[in-house]
A = this chain, B = another copy of it.
């Protein structure tokens, strides 16, 4: 009999625990001190403390997670996303400890984890990558030659770079020399390494990804596409499936290429190939995420496949329960990520107590969350509070549904991005289904203050006045009151 340890927290831990319950598999939660009373802890059958609030000493600590698995007799470890999910060494430690890691082998994780290696591997496997120089540029002459080959515009990038630094966009040949010298100087200054390389600049790209699933019996399938172009500072905020306006021909071609990519690294489990897609629907491999994605619900909603259940089945050595021939997309799904951040102050993170929290319910809605009202959104971890997803028979109905749902989301105590989400899904471009990764930048800034609300003002004054006067205006029923008082004094709540 298997037992599953979930090496994660928050909504994804809850998601995996629910799948375990449905399969009849016992589940073990792990938690840091910051999460001792979190929802995933109480949802699981067992829970083990793995360290202090800091991730490095808890959720990111391979040895502690493995010890927890050993102590509870867990046979499977589901890493969720983030934390240890793409850590090839941890996967190897699991193997050595005789615990099954729910995910691909360390070979696939390494091949895809190192971005230049992934690019080379994909190129060799016939997967289209963004055209560019073969590794670092030796000199300006080579830069010129490569640019002639791939055509302008191009991006000059620092080989050792990251975080958007040391990058220059070059629109035409006459700009190249100055940009080349500048980029090298900048790279040297920032990263102590002047090496640069060239990639073709994709203008107004869309970010579309393909979900794949592979089992240990030689089956590899794709589960179609997800449109993830609604991003702010490279952070996805809204995803949908199918990608609006994408031709079916491109969709299937991307699916086939994704399967090819997965096979090239002997992939097993659920994974995602991310592509850049240009306005002419040419697509280029960007990277592969060798784990479950945050946005997996939209794929589940349109394909009807339970990706977590398939992951667990595959990890237990069973064949996947689907085949390419039977897979199809039905209707449309949109996911909105609700973050604890303040749109009126540049989307600053807004940790704090979630004093009001009631996500919407209704037909076709799905909420993935890991909090309850009264929880504190910790500043130690990701600022995502919940994922609100809607499914409907078609895209216009789906937009109607997600807008109605967002509008009835009750939340307070922290700042959040719901108004921003409403702004995006209500925007002309989004509704038309014609947008790229620039969509968020085209929207006007939100008003920093909510409209005046006379009733709210009256309520605030009344409550303040009543508190101040300490006058008993309405007596609660005697029995209830005595009981409530006793329970409150005992530090317990009765309702």
Contact of A22 among B330, B401, B476, B495 (CB under 8 A): B401
* A482 interfacial by beta-carbon distance below 8 Å: yes
* A163 interfacial by beta-carbon distance below 8 Å: no
User: What are the residues of chain B within 8 A of A466 when measuring CB–CB?
Assistant: 486-487, 489-490
Given A22-B401, A330-B304, verify A297-B489 contact (CB < 8 Å).
no
Q: How far is the CA of A467 from the CA of B480 in the complex (A)?
A: 12
Q: How many Å from the CB of A66 to the closest CB on chain B?
A: 28
A467–B486 touching, CB < 8 Å: yes
Q: How many Å from the CB of A298 to the closest CB on chain B?
A: 12
* A364 interfacial by beta-carbon distance below 8 Å: yes
* A107 interfacial by beta-carbon distance below 8 Å: no
Mask of A442-486 contacts with B, CB within 8 angstroms, 1/0: 000000000000000000001100111011111010000111101
Mask of A343-358 contacts with B, CB within 8 angstroms, 1/0: 0000000000001000
B474–A486 touching, CB < 8 Å: no
State which of A146-154, A243-251, A278-286, A392-400 sits at the interface with chain B: A392-400
Q: How far is the CA of A394 from the CA of B466 in the complex (A)?
A: 57
Closest B residue to A473 by beta carbon equals B490
B472–A397 touching, CB < 8 Å: no
Mask of A251-288 contacts with B, CB within 8 angstroms, 1/0: 00000000000000000000000000000000000000
User: What are the residues of chain B within 8 A of A397 when measuring CB–CB?
Assistant: 22, 306, 309
Q: How many Å from the CB of A400 to the closest CB on chain B?
A: 4
User: What are the residues of chain B within 8 A of A304 when measuring CB–CB?
Assistant: 330-331, 393
User: This chain: how many copies in the complex?
Assistant: 2
A400–B474 touching, CB < 8 Å: no
Mask of A367-399 contacts with B, CB within 8 angstroms, 1/0: 110000110000000000000000011100100
Contact of A393 among B321, B331, B400 (CB under 8 A): B321
Contact of A491 among B15, B22, B322, B473 (CB under 8 A): B473
Closest B residue to A466 by beta carbon equals B490
* A3 interfacial by beta-carbon distance below 8 Å: no
Q: How many Å from the CB of A448 to the closest CB on chain B?
A: 27
User: What are the residues of chain B within 8 A of A476 when measuring CB–CB?
Assistant: 488, 491
Q: How far is the CA of A373 from the CA of B494 in the complex (A)?
A: 12
* A21 interfacial by beta-carbon distance below 8 Å: yes
Besides the known contacts A24-B400, A304-B330, 13 further A-B residue pairs in the complex with CB atoms under 8 A apart: A15-B362, A18-B362, A21-B407, A22-B397, A305-B393, A306-B363, A306-B364, A321-B393, A330-B330, A361-B367, A463-B492, A466-B486, A484-B488
